[in-house]
Amino acid sequence: MTRLFAGTPFDRPPTCERCGKLEAECTCPPPARELTPPEKQTAKIAVEKRPKGKVATVIRGLKADANDLPALLTQLKNTCGAGGTIDGDVLEIQGDHADRVTKLLTKIGYKLPR
């Protein structure tokens, strides 16, 4: 059977759009993620009780794929002088740091519900 569509892209091995090499040989760094500007996001800050009478400042509403949450967590920890964790899209700082978190997020540009 004659191949009518010889030379279509399906016949060629996939190549990198940037360097033109075969994808298997390509050493280009992965493309930078497209982050959403802080001005277009709303962060919700809540101080929540934890077992044993501890409290934590929780930040919700910032998607992990639209933000550099690890970098943000570092800023938050430095600002608050406290430990913190990321769980999916939720950032948590140990202790009641609502005021500092509010100031930092506002400074970065995130919108906060009034």
* Binding positions for Zn ion, rule: CB under 5 A: 16, 18-19, 26, 28
* Ranges assigned E (strand) in 32-111: 44-49, 55-60, 84-87, 90-94
CB 41, min distance to Zn ion, A: 32
What is the number of the residue whose Cβ is closest to Zn ion? 16
- Residue placing its CB nearer to Zn ion in the complex, 16 or 47: 16
- Residue placing its CB nearer to Zn ion in the complex, 17 or 99: 17
Residues of 29-41 as b/e, b for ≥16 C-beta within 10 angstroms? eeeeeeeeebeeb
CB 33, min distance to Zn ion, A: 17
- Residue placing its CB nearer to Zn ion in the complex, 25 or 34: 25
CB 88, min distance to Zn ion, A: 31
On whether the CB atoms of residues 23 and 29 are closer than 8 A, the answer is no
Report helix, strand or coil for 60.
strand
